[in-house]
Amino acid sequence: MAIAKKKDRPGGIPEASGAELLNYYRKMLLLRRFEEKAGQMYGMGLIGGFCHLYIGQEAVATGIQSALGPGDAVITGYRCHAHMLLAGSDPKAIMAELTGRAGGVSKGKGGSMHMFNRAGNFYGGHGIVGAQVALGAGLAFAHWYRGNDRVSVSYFGDGASNQGQVFESFNMAALWKLPAIFVIENNQYAMGTSQQRSTAVRDLYRRGEAFGLEGLQVDGMDVVAVKATADEAVAHCRAGQGPIVLEVLTYRYRGHSMSDPAKYRSKEEVARVRAERDPIERVRDRLIEAKHSDDEALKEIDKELKGIINDAAEFAQSSPEPEASELYTDVYVA
Amino acid sequence: MVALTVREALRDAMAEEMRADPDVFLMGEEVAEYQGAYKVSQGLLQEFGAKRVIDTPITEMGFAGVGTGAAMMGLKPIVEFMTFNFAMQAIDHILNSAAKTLYMSGGEIKCPIVFRGPNGAAARVAAQHSQCYASWYGHVPGLKVIAPWSAADAKGLLKSAIRDPNPVVFLENELLYGQSSDVPDGPDFTVPIGKANIVRQGRDVTITAFSIMVSKAMQAAEKLAAMGIDAEIVDLRTIRPLDGETVLASVKKTNRLVTCEEGWPFAGIGAELSALVMERAFDHLDAPVMRVAGKDVPLPYAANLEKMALPQVDDIIAAAKAVCYKT
Ligand SMILES: Cc1ncc(C[n+]2csc(CCOP(=O)(O)OP(=O)(O)O)c2C)c(N)n1
Ligand SMILES: [Mg+2]
C-alpha cells in the first residue's frame, strides 16, 4: 500500500540552471502581469461576472506544466487564465474572452471561467467546483484506453477536495490504474472559508490514502520544488503505476474573485506571504544571487511582457462584441 | 426483418457500433460480468473484453464525469445508468459538463457521449425508482433526448445516438425490454434522430406518445375505433429536437390533440406540445388540447394506488372522447 509523503525536501531546494530559472521567471511574470491587468480592467467595468485571479499561485501551474510533455492533458476549475496562457493560448484571445468579445478564445460565450485549448491539450475552465476532477480522470481514462503513455493533470482547490466526486474519481483512477495526477492547489481558503473551518484532516496529500494513492506535498511558492515534485508524479504515471495526489501549498493574494473584499483574513497575513514567500521574487533572488541575470535584464523582460499584456488589453477592448447570429451557434455539432 | 426484443435490439445496436468503431465503449454498473442489471449488455464482455465493457463501482457522478472527460478527448462512451433515477447523482455532469461545454468553448470541445438506461415506472418499485425524466432532459439545449418504443426504433435510434457527435440521453423502459417486434436486418440500418413516426393513421384525433405510452395509446385507439373515433397516433421517438412539424401536420388534419406521457403534467412534454400547437396551429383546433399524464404525486407502492397514479388506456380513451365531444 502506497503511503503519502511530505516532501519538505530535506536535501534543500533542487538545482535549476540559469536558463530554467529565467524561463520560470518569464512565465510567472507573464501570468502575474496578465492577472493584474485583468483586475484593472474588471475595476473599469470592462470585464463582467466572476473573475478569479491567480496572483500568488503562479509557481503551481508554471512548475507543473513545465514537467509535462506533448499530449499530456490539463484541466482545472474557474481560476484558469494562467493555465490557458501556459497552454500556449494567445493572451489577446484570452483577454478578449474576459471582455466577452468575438475575438475571445470561446468567441465570448464562455467568459473568465470557461476557456479551452484543444491543440494545447487544455480542457477547461469549469465552473462547478469538483467537476474537473472526474472529468480529469476521464481524460486519463482516454489515455489509458488508447494505450499511450500520456498523463492527465486535474487541478482543484482545498475547498473542492471535500467534494464527493473527488473520492469517486480517486477510487476509479486507482482501480483502473489511470495515469491521473490530482493536484490540490491548497491556498488555504475556499472563498471565505479557511481550511480550519472546512476540513477535518488538513493534510490533503493524504486524501488518497484510503484508495492506496501515494501523495506528495510540496511548497507551492517554490517553482523549482514544484517542478521537481511534478517530475516525480509524471514519472510515476508514465511508468504505469496509476494515479497520484500532489498537494501544493500556495496562497492567493487577491480575494476569491474580483467581487470579494477578503475580510475573512488580515492584511498582515497577506503582506507576510507576499514579503516572505512570493514565488516570483524568490526566482528573481536566485537569478541575481547566482548572477544568471541582473536587475537591468529582468526589467527588460518585464517591459516586454507589459507590452504583450497592453496589446492584449487593447485587443480585448477593440474586438467587437459577438455577432447576434453567434447566439445560436455551437449549441450542437452539426 | 427479424423479430427481436427491445433488449436484443439495444444490445445489437451497441455491438454493431462497437465493431465498427474502436472508440466506442460501454461503462456502467453491472454491465460486464453480470451482463447488465436488465441483461441489455448480454454477451458484450465476451465479445469485446474488459477494456471496452467496463464494470464501474456504484459511483454515478464519478463515472458520468469520467465518461464525459473521455468524450471530450474524442472517445465515444456509452454510459449505462442502472436506471435514470440514479442519474440524479450524475445530472450535473450531463447538463453542466456534457451539454454546455461545446457552447461555452465556442465550438472547441465536443462531447460525443450516450447516457442510456431504463426510465420511468417499472412495476411496484415506488417513488424513488419510478420517475420519468423526459421533460427534465428535454429542457436542456445541447442535449439530444430519445425515448423509443419499438425494437426497430430502439436499435436504429441507439445506433444514431452512438454516431452522433453530441451528448445524447437515451431513455429506455424496463417493461418494454421483453417486447418483440420486427427489426430491419444488417448493421447499416439506423433511424434518424428528431423524426416522429405516425404509428397509426387516423382522421379524428391526434394522440402523441413516446416510449411505453405508445403501447397504451395503441390499445386506446383500438377501443376508440369501436366507438367510431379514428385516432392518429404519433410516436414522438425523439423528445429533443422535437419533431413539431409532424405533430402540427397531424393536428391540422384531425383538429384535435391528446398528449400522453408517464411523467408529471407540470411543465411536462404535454405542456410543451400544448404550447406548440397553441402558437402554431391555434386556428386549426376544434377543442382544447388535453394532457394525459402521471398524477401529480410521488408514485405509490400499493398496487391499486400505483394503477391510479399512472396514466392508463382508459384515461387516453376518456381524453380522446372529450376532445371529440363524444360521451
Ligand atoms: C458545486 C459548486 N458549489 C459551489 C460553488 C461556488 N464556489 C465557487 S468557487 C468556491 C470555493 C472553492 O474553493 P477552492 O476549491 O479552495 O478553490 P480556490 O477558489 O481557492 O482556487 C465556491 C464555493 C461552485 N462554483 N460549485
Ligand atoms: Mg482554495
Closest residue by Cα to atom 4, ligand 1, is: A129
DSSP for residue B198 = E
Residue B103 and residue A109: Cβ atoms within 8 Å? yes
What type of residue is B307? K
Q: Specify if A250 maps to a domain.
A: yes
Q: Is the CB of B65 less than 8 angstroms away from the CB of A133?
A: yes
Type of residue at A243: P
- Closest of B21, B42, B18 to residue B30, by C-alpha: B42
Chain A: residue nearest B28 by CA?
Answer: A172
Which residues on adjacent β-strands are paired with residue B28?
Answer: B55, B80
pLDDT of residue A14: 76
pLDDT at A4 over 70: no
B70:A141 CB<8 A: yes
Give the pLDDT band of residue A15 (cuts 50, 70, 90): confident
Q: Which atom of ligand 1 is nearest to the CA of A52?
A: 19
CB contact under 8 A, B142 and A331: yes
Q: What is the pLDDT of residue A28?
A: 98
Residue A308 lies in a domain: no
Residue A11: predicted pLDDT: 52
A 156-195 residues with CB below 8 A of B?
Answer: 164-165, 168-169, 171-172, 175-176
Peptide bond into A320 cis (omega under 30): no
B62 contacts A114? CB cut-off 8 A: no
Q: Which CATH number covers residue A161?
A: 3.40.50.970
The whole-angstrom separation of Cα A130 and Cα A166 is 6
Residue range(s) defining the domain that contains residue A274: 5-9+19-47+55-77+123-297
Nearest by CB: B110 against A106, A137, A333: A333
Question: Could you report the per-residue pLDDT of B151-198, keeping only the tens digit for each?
Answer: 999 999 999 999 999 999 999 999 999 999 999 999 999 999 999 999
The SS3 of residue A52 is coil
A83 Cβ under 8 Å from any chain B Cβ? no
Beta-carbon contacts below 8 Å between A and B: 144
Q: What is the ipTM of this complex?
A: 0.93
Q: Is residue A146 part of a domain?
A: yes
Q: For A80-130, where are the alpha helices, taking DSSP H only?
A: 81-86, 91-98
- Please report the pLDDT score of residue A10 as a whole number: 47
Residue type, A201: V
Residue A136 contacts B where some CB pair is shorter than 8 Å: yes
Atom number, ligand 1, closest to the C-alpha of residue A185:
21
d(CA B301, CA B308): 11
Q: Is the dihedral of CA B319, B322, B323, B327 positive or negative?
A: positive
Residue A107 lies in a domain: no
- For residues B263 and B35, give the distance between their C-alpha atoms in angstroms, rounded to a whole number: 29
**How high does pLDDT run on average in chain A?**
95
Q: Cα(A61) to centroid of ligand 2, in Å?
A: 14
DSSP readout, A118-179?
TTTTEEEE--STTHHHHHHHHHHHHHHHHT----EEEEEETTGGGSHHHHHHHHHHHHTT--
Task: Give the C-alpha separation, A233 to A155, whole Å.
Answer: 14
Please say whether the beta carbons of A151 and A238 come within 8 A: yes
Measured from the alpha carbon of residue A255, the closest ligand is 1
- pLDDT score at A3: 56
Determine phi and psi for A29, rounding to 5 degrees. -70, -35
Q: Any idea what the Cα angle at residue B25 is, between residues B24 and B29, rounded to 5°?
A: 155
Nearest CA in chain B to A77: B97
Pick B25's closest partner by Cβ from A145, A165, A332: A145
pLDDT in tens, A72-127: 999 999 999 999 999 999 999 999 999 999 999 999 999 999 999 999 999 999 99
Q: What is the mean pLDDT of residues B51-73?
A: 98
Residue A230 domain flag: yes
Whether B110 sits inside 8 A of A164 (CB atoms) is no
Residue A169 CA to ligand 1 center (angstroms) comes to: 18
Domain with CATH 3.40.50.920 in chain B: 197-323
For every residue of B243-254, DSSP letters joined together read -HHHHHHHHHHH
Tell me the best of A158, A191, A207 to mutate to test the pocket of ligand 1, counting ligand atoms within 8 Å of each CB and taking the most.
A191
Let me know if B81 is exposed, middle or buried by CB neighbors in 10 A (0-12, 13-18, 19+): buried
Q: How far is the CA of A159 from the centre of ligand 1 (A)?
A: 6
Residue A105 resides in a domain: no
Is residue A8 predicted with pLDDT exceeding 70? no
CA-closest residue to ligand 1 atom 5: A129
B240-264 average pLDDT score: 98
pLDDT digits (tens, 9 = 90+) for A202-248: 999 999 999 999 999 999 999 999 999 999 999 999 999 999 999 99
B306 has pLDDT over 50: yes
For A170, the grid coordinates are 480517486
Residue A302, CA distances (Å) to A54, A306, A316, B317 in order: 18, 6, 21, 78
**pLDDT beyond 50 at A1:** no
Query: Which CATH code for domain B197-323?
Result: 3.40.50.920
Domain B2-183 classification at class level: alpha beta
Give, in order, the Cα–Cα distances in Å from B125 to each of A25, B59, B120, B130, B171: 62, 21, 11, 7, 18
The type of residue at A333 is V
| Nearest protein CA to atom 8 of ligand 1, as residue | A129
By a Cβ cutoff of 8 Å, what residues of chain B touch chain A?
A: 25, 51, 54, 56-57, 59, 61-75, 92-93, 96-97, 101-110, 112, 141-142, 144, 165-166
Please name the residue whose Cα sits nearest to atom 11 of ligand 1.
Answer: A190
Query: For ligand 1, what atom is nearest to the CA of residue A257?
Result: 19
Under DSSP, is residue B145 helix (H, G, I), strand (E, B) or coil? strand
3-class SS of residue B240: strand
Delimiting residues of CATH 3.40.50.970 domain(s) in chain B: 2-183
Q: What pLDDT band is residue B327 in, cutting at 50, 70 and 90? A: confident
Q: Measure the CA–CA gap between B101 and A125, rounded to whole angstroms.
A: 10
**Residue A117 to residue B96, Cβ atoms within 8 A:** no
Cα–Cα distance for residue pair B86/B29, rounded to 1 Å: 11
Q: Per the structure block, which three cell numbers stand in for B110?
A: 465536443
Residue A53 CA to ligand 1 centre (angstroms)? 13
pLDDT of B310 > 90? The answer is: yes
Nearest to B162 by CA among B80, B77, B99: B77
Return the active site residues of B: 60, 129
**B270-302 pLDDT per residue, tens:** 999 999 999 999 999 999 999 999 999 999 999
Inter-chain residue contact B73 with A123, CB threshold 8 Å? yes
pLDDT(A6) > 70: no
User: Which residue in A123, A136, A332 is closest to B109 by CB distance?
Assistant: A123
Residue A87 lies in a domain: no
| Chain B residues touching A332 at Cβ < 8 A | 102, 142, 144, 166
- Protein residues whose CB sits closer than 6 Å to any atom of ligand 1: A 79, 127-129, 157-160, 185, 187, 189-191, 256
Residue A199 lies in a domain: yes
Query: Is residue B14 a contact partner of residue B162, using CB atoms and an 8 Å limit?
Result: yes
CA distance B25 to A273: 49
Burial class (CB in 10 A: 0-12, 13-18, 19+), A68: buried
Ligand nearest to the CA of A192: 1
Tell whether the torsion through CA atoms of A5, A8, A10 and A15 is positive or negative. Answer: positive
pTM, two decimals, is: 0.95
Rounded to the nearest angstrom, the distance between the alpha carbon of A128 and the centre of ligand 2 is: 14
